[in-house]
Chain A
Amino acid sequence: MTIRSRRPGANAALLPVLLTGALALAACSSGGSSPAPQSGGAPAGAKTLVIDTSFDLKTADPGRTYEPTGLIIGKATYETLLTFEGSNVTKPVPALAESFELSKDGKTLTLKLRQGVTFADGSPVTADDVVFSLNRVRDMKGTPSFLLDGVQVEKTDDTTITLTSEKANPALPYILPNPALGILNSKVAKENGATADTGDKAEQYLNSTSAGSGPYTIESFNVSSQVVLKANAKYWGQQKPVYDKVVIRNVEAATQKLNVSRGDSQVALNLSGDQVSGIPGTLQVKKTPSANVIFLFANQDPSISKVTSNPKFAEAVRKGIDYAGLLELAGDGSVQAPGVIPSMLLGALPPDSGITRDLEGAKAALRESGVTNPTVKLEYPSELTVNGLSFQPLAERIQANLKEVGITVELAPAPVATALDNYRNGKEEMGLWYWGPDYPDPSDYLAFLPGKLVGLRAGWKAGSDRALEAAGDKAALTLGDEARRQAYVDIQNKLNASGPFVTLIQPSQNIVTAPSVTGLEFHPVWTVDVADLGVK
């Protein structure tokens, strides 16, 4: 746009001209809003699915993947030996393996490999690929390597793999579906720097393209803006990918809502309960309790706090919280968490067994503790949102609740990266955090016991509660669904009676989809299986 020189006498005409120019400029922008964006080489009639999500993404290398967005991508591009059907995480089913069997002592898992399965480049998936991929995850010491801690992977013959653990490992079939354990095309991976040790250099390659057998492959990958998947034309399975292209974009929740309402995207993954309530009726809304459990803890280490390590303090907090109020805050679809294990997993406490507020009981417990007018510091990640729920209002509500009990809570928010430091080092007097399952098996929650990962963060050292620790050790080795369920219910009841944790809520996972999208199920591990999505 240029400004022509005009006679000053004609200045009166200048303003309308300029304004018209500005409007014309704005009007140009409608040029790009054609409803069927098909270009850049895509064939006519090609179907594109756009998924908006707030990125939590570091890598597309399955052996290093541990973030929600990464798991969505991993699930679409790689396949695992076992998987889950739909949203049912209580029963692992075969995937690349056609059958599996856990030995009587729970130590050996034998898997028969499916035949005729090929990678995206057409080469067959072999037992050697499986052995290499699993060993790589375990020995590379990336974030998900703990999944296979102490598990030996061996090829018995060309169609049989055995996984051997030192102790009974009933959780293993529930661990194997994790997209981090996706099977790589080992030849391609090795050519690009993959080694099954800490010197592995394949990540950069695996961030530019995928080397799996999944229904989709990676077309482009940008860790902060968008990931584009394209259909694997050689996909071996019966159910071929429906969309030619899947674009997963990093979009703020508020923008996600507008995008999906307007039809600019077909799936929005991160809307809060509030945002979903104003969504147009034509869209499909899926509300499910997420597998994330938000909890409070009171540090048990007297050197960190004389107040919170007092045995009666946690009880006062537990009785003093207004759980119904928190649920209101979290919005539709969220549920109270009666224990650390979320509702959809084996061993979860019944939904109606959650504690209700008992203000008098809380005050009594505080009196019994002998601490008068305590002041405690509550640390939490300030900008973290879980399923659209921000920690800030949650912390403020807890502060108000405990004020009524007679506990003064000082809020100490910090950015996640900073807050994590104190939390992981067990230095927080009180903390507000959440835990999502590493794998959908109750044994993952043994981390809350004394001397274990989360227990230590709450200053709960090994030996603090020997009975509970023994119960945990026993539960880890227990076989059989009913016996395991009993064991974990028992552990949670004990945790609620004397532990430092106060479990609050499971916020709702709200997924909004366009009317055209079919087959969406919320999954606690990989959020959504892109390949399950169809079109009406």
Chain B
Amino acid sequence: MSSKDPSGPVKDSPAAPPKPGRPGRGGRRHPLARFLFRRVVTALLLALGITLVTFVLTNLVPGDPVAANLGQRALGDPAIVAQWRAEHGLDKPLPQQYLLHLQGVLQGDFGMSQQSHRPVADDLAEAVPATLELAGTAILISVVLGVAFGVVAALRRDRLSDHVLRVVSLVGISVPTFWLALIAFYVFFYRLQITPGSGRIDPGMSPPPTVTGLYTVDAALAGQWDVFSSALGHLLTPALVLALYTIGLLTRFTRSAVLEVLGQDYVRAARAKGLPPRVILFRYVLRSALVPVITVAGLAFGSLLSGTVLVEAIFAWPGVGQYAYKSATSLDLPAVMGVGLVVGCVYLVINLIVDVLYGIIDPRVRMS
């Protein structure tokens, strides 16, 4: 973090040593640290709120988990039903169930999944990396391409490339992701035969030894390059499909943000001073334009997560989406709560990251 204010003229004299903190009211801690602290505390409180909301919503669902999980005939035996309820803690009053749930969550215990009969934490440990690998790749692709497209469109405003990019981004935003997934699968896999099929790797292969749970990373770490190429191949089509919406969104926002900054006085001043265009683009324009772009990217990540549910179904990707669907339809309450909590927390973390990036890029944010 530079102590210089990038958007203003250079004013610090080279002799003055950089100050450790700004003399704010009280001036106890670095404002960034204070800002971080406040945001993290808020996030923790929100996480607690998420546990409550997922618990309440899950228990409001009509339908009896006992009926969904015990066989038809076992249901006829009250003793078995009672035993099952007791085993799964369903015989206790709801507030107590919630406290037990919360206590478990704090210890990393999300309960036992009623469908897989394994700890929900273990199930999630398998499903979450799969989704993160997919969504993470998608967000990476969309930030890189979306920002680049947006900059190009802004710099070449009203020229052919601008129009092309704007049409592409409009299409990206408008087309429903699941439809695109089906079409992409049909065209690239079935018709053109250039992409591999369902799943994370070719069916004949064994997954790489688990380190991160991300197949591409794990395969690279283990040096299994054939597995790596298979995993990457399987990853790219669904990730691109998922990314298209975000690319479109980011292209539009970057374009308008860059255009706005380009019109600012300080950019004109910099140009007048004869600074090289490259310096102007990267030091002045992009830096200021990034703030709205980060917001959009963060929000888009949310829509991306919901998009994975359908994309995962179409590409048979064994991630959180499939797990959530399966849990919900079999009324596997611990699993549903686990998924709700994890997804909620991912949102929280994304928001936190966005806020912190704000604070870093634009010091005015952390001062407020």
The residues of A with any CB-CB pair to B shorter than 8 Å are 1, 3, 5-9, 11-12, 14-15, 18, 22, 25-34, 36-42, 46, 48, 50, 52, 55, 58-59, 66, 141-146, 149, 198, 203-204, 207, 222-226, 245, 247, 249-252, 254-255, 258-259, 261-262, 264-265, 383, 415-418, 420-421, 424, 453
The residues of B with any CB-CB pair to A shorter than 8 Å are 61-64, 67-68, 70-75, 77, 80, 83, 115-118, 126-127, 141, 144-145, 148-149, 151-152, 155-156, 161, 165, 182, 185-186, 188-190, 193-199, 201-207, 224, 226-227, 229-237, 240, 276-278, 280-282, 313-316, 318, 322-323, 326, 329-331
Q: Closest A residue to B181 by CB, please name it.
A: A255
Q: Once bound together, how far apart are the Cα atoms of A9 and B186, in whole Å?
A: 41
Output the least CB separation between B139 and chain A (Å).
13
Highest count of chain A CB atoms <10 Å: which of B77, B117, B329: B117
A40-B207 CB under 8 A given contacts A261-B190, A415-B329 = yes
Q: Once bound together, how far apart are the Cα atoms of A415 and B152, in whole Å?
A: 48
Output the least CB separation between A14 and chain B (Å).
5
Q: Once bound together, how far apart are the Cα atoms of A91 and B118, in whole Å?
A: 39
Tell me which of B204, B207, B237 contacts A38 (CB under 8 A).
Answer: B204
List the 3 closest A-B pairs by CB distance, nearest first: A32-B233, A143-B71, A40-B206
Q: Is A31 in contact with B204, judged by CB distance below 8 angstroms?
A: no
Q: Is A33 in contact with B226, judged by CB distance below 8 angstroms?
A: no
Q: Closest A residue to B74 by CB, please name it.
A: A141
Highest count of chain A CB atoms <10 Å: which of B126, B203, B236: B203
Q: Is B194 in contact with A30, judged by CB distance below 8 angstroms?
A: yes
Tell me which of B144, B281, B330 contacts A1 (CB under 8 A).
Answer: B144
Q: Once bound together, how far apart are the Cα atoms of A341 and B156, in whole Å?
A: 72
Output the least CB separation between B206 and chain A (Å).
3
Q: Is B126 in contact with A40, judged by CB distance below 8 angstroms?
A: no
Q: Is A255 in contact with B316, judged by CB distance below 8 angstroms?
A: yes
Q: Closest B residue to A251 by CB, please name it.
A: B316
Q: Which residues of A contact B331 (CB under 8 A)?
A: 417
Q: Which residues of B contact A149 (CB under 8 A)?
A: 73
Q: Is B203 in contact with A50, judged by CB distance below 8 angstroms?
A: yes
A8-B316 CB under 8 A given contacts A31-B233, A33-B194, A417-B68 = no
Q: Is A421 in contact with B203, judged by CB distance below 8 angstroms?
A: no
Q: Once bound together, how far apart are the Cα atoms of A29 and B72, in whole Å?
A: 46
Q: Closest A residue to B75 by CB, please name it.
A: A424
**6 pairs, A vs B, C-beta closer than 8 Å:** A15-B161, A59-B117, A204-B118, A222-B116, A223-B116, A420-B63
Q: Is A37 in contact with B230, judged by CB distance below 8 angstroms?
A: yes
Q: Is B116 in contact with A39, judged by CB distance below 8 angstroms?
A: no
Output the least CB separation between A517 and chain B (Å).
15
Q: Which residues of B contact A34 (CB under 8 A)?
A: 202, 230
Interface residue SS majority, chain B: helix
Tell me which of B149, B202, B313, B329 contacts A416 (CB under 8 A).
Answer: B329
Tell me which of A18, A48, A142 contacts B204 (CB under 8 A).
Answer: A48
Q: Which residues of B contact A38 (CB under 8 A)?
A: 204
Q: Is B74 in contact with A145, judged by CB distance below 8 angstroms?
A: yes
A8-B71 CB under 8 A given contacts A32-B232, A223-B326, A252-B313 = no
Q: Is A18 in contact with B74, judged by CB distance below 8 angstroms?
A: no
Q: Is A3 in contact with B144, judged by CB distance below 8 angstroms?
A: yes
Q: Is B240 in contact with A26, judged by CB distance below 8 angstroms?
A: yes
Q: Is A258 in contact with B185, judged by CB distance below 8 angstroms?
A: yes
Q: Which residues of A contact B156 (CB under 8 A)?
A: 11-12, 15
Tell me which of A28, A40, A203 contacts B224 (CB under 8 A).
Answer: A40
Tell me which of A1, A15, A25, A143 contacts B74 (CB under 8 A).
Answer: A143
Q: Closest B residue to A1 by CB, please name it.
A: B144
A252-B316 CB under 8 A given contacts A25-B141, A31-B232, A247-B203 = yes
Q: Is A142 in contact with B316, judged by CB distance below 8 angstroms?
A: no
Q: Once bound together, how far apart are the Cα atoms of A262 and B207, in whole Å?
A: 23
Q: Which residues of A contact B202 (CB under 8 A)?
A: 32, 34, 37, 39
Starting from the known contacts A18-B145, A40-B227, A383-B329, 19 additional A-B residue pairs (CB-CB under 8 Å) come to: A3-B148, A12-B161, A32-B195, A32-B234, A40-B205, A42-B204, A42-B206, A48-B203, A48-B204, A58-B330, A143-B73, A145-B74, A204-B118, A225-B318, A249-B203, A416-B329, A417-B68, A417-B331, A420-B67
Output the least CB separation between B125 and chain A (Å).
12
Q: Is A249 in contact with B190, judged by CB distance below 8 angstroms?
A: no
Tell me which of B61, B148, B230 contacts A18 (CB under 8 A).
Answer: B148
Q: Is B117 in contact with A207, judged by CB distance below 8 angstroms?
A: yes
Q: Is B73 in contact with A11, judged by CB distance below 8 angstroms?
A: no
Q: Once bound together, how far apart are the Cα atoms of A18 and B142, in whole Å?
A: 12
Output the least CB separation between A443 and chain B (Å).
14
Q: Which residues of A contact B316 (CB under 8 A)?
A: 225, 249-252, 255
Q: Closest A residue to B235 by CB, please name it.
A: A29
Output the least CB separation between B337 and chain A (Å).
16
Q: Which residues of A contact B63 (CB under 8 A)?
A: 415, 417-418, 420-421
Q: Closest B residue to A144 by CB, please name it.
A: B71
Tell me which of B80, B206, B234 contacts A198 (CB under 8 A).
Answer: B80
Q: Once bound together, how far apart are the Cα atoms of A46 and B240, in whole Å?
A: 33
Highest count of chain A CB atoms <10 Å: which of B70, B196, B227: B196
A258-B74 CB under 8 A given contacts A33-B193, A415-B329, A424-B67 = no
Q: Is A9 in contact with B207, judged by CB distance below 8 angstroms?
A: no
Highest count of chain A CB atoms <10 Å: which of B126, B145, B202, B331: B202
Q: Once bound together, how far apart are the Cα atoms of A261 and B194, in whole Å?
A: 15
A7-B145 CB under 8 A given contacts A33-B195, A262-B193 = no
Q: Is A29 in contact with B278, judged by CB distance below 8 angstroms?
A: no
Q: Is A33 in contact with B196, judged by CB distance below 8 angstroms?
A: yes
Tell me which of A27, A48, A222, A252 contacts B314 (CB under 8 A).
Answer: A252
Q: Once bound together, how far apart are the Cα atoms of A95 and B226, in whole Å?
A: 42
Q: Which residues of A contact B185 (CB under 8 A)?
A: 255, 258
Q: Once bound together, how far apart are the Cα atoms of A264 and B186, in whole Å?
A: 13
Q: Once bound together, how far apart are the Cα atoms of A358 and B206, in whole Å?
A: 59
Output the least CB separation between B290 and chain A (Å).
14
Q: Which residues of A contact B230 (CB under 8 A)?
A: 31-32, 34, 37, 39
Q: Once bound together, how far apart are the Cα atoms of A490 and B155, in whole Å?
A: 84
Output the least CB separation between B164 and chain A (Å).
8
Q: Closest A residue to B130 by CB, please name it.
A: A225
Q: Which residues of B contact A58 (CB under 8 A)?
A: 115-117, 330
A32-B203 CB under 8 A given contacts A5-B278, A144-B71 = no
Q: Which residues of A contact B318 (CB under 8 A)?
A: 222, 224-226, 250
Q: Which residues of B contact A142 (CB under 8 A)?
A: 71, 74
Output the least CB separation between A200 and chain B (Å).
11
Q: Which residues of A contact B196 (CB under 8 A)?
A: 29, 32-33, 264
Q: Once bound together, how far apart are the Cα atoms of A120 and B122, in whole Å?
A: 27
A418-B155 CB under 8 A given contacts A37-B204, A141-B80, A252-B316 = no
Q: Once bound together, how far apart are the Cα atoms of A383 and B322, in whole Å?
A: 15
Q: Which residues of A contact B193 (CB under 8 A)?
A: 33, 262
Q: Once bound together, how far apart are the Cα atoms of A41 and B204, in whole Å?
A: 10
Output the least CB separation between A264 and chain B (Å).
4
Q: Closest B residue to A55 by CB, please name it.
A: B326
Q: Which residues of A contact B148 (CB under 8 A)?
A: 3, 14, 18
Highest count of chain A CB atoms <10 Å: which of B229, B282, B313: B229
Q: Which residues of A contact B141 (CB under 8 A)?
A: 25
Q: Is A424 in contact with B118, judged by CB distance below 8 angstroms?
A: no
Q: Once bound together, how far apart are the Cα atoms of A417 and B115, in whole Å?
A: 13
Q: Is B145 in contact with A29, judged by CB distance below 8 angstroms?
A: no
Q: Closest A residue to B206 by CB, please name it.
A: A40
A224-B190 CB under 8 A given contacts A5-B278, A25-B240, A255-B316 = no
Q: Which residues of B contact A259 (CB under 8 A)?
A: 197-198
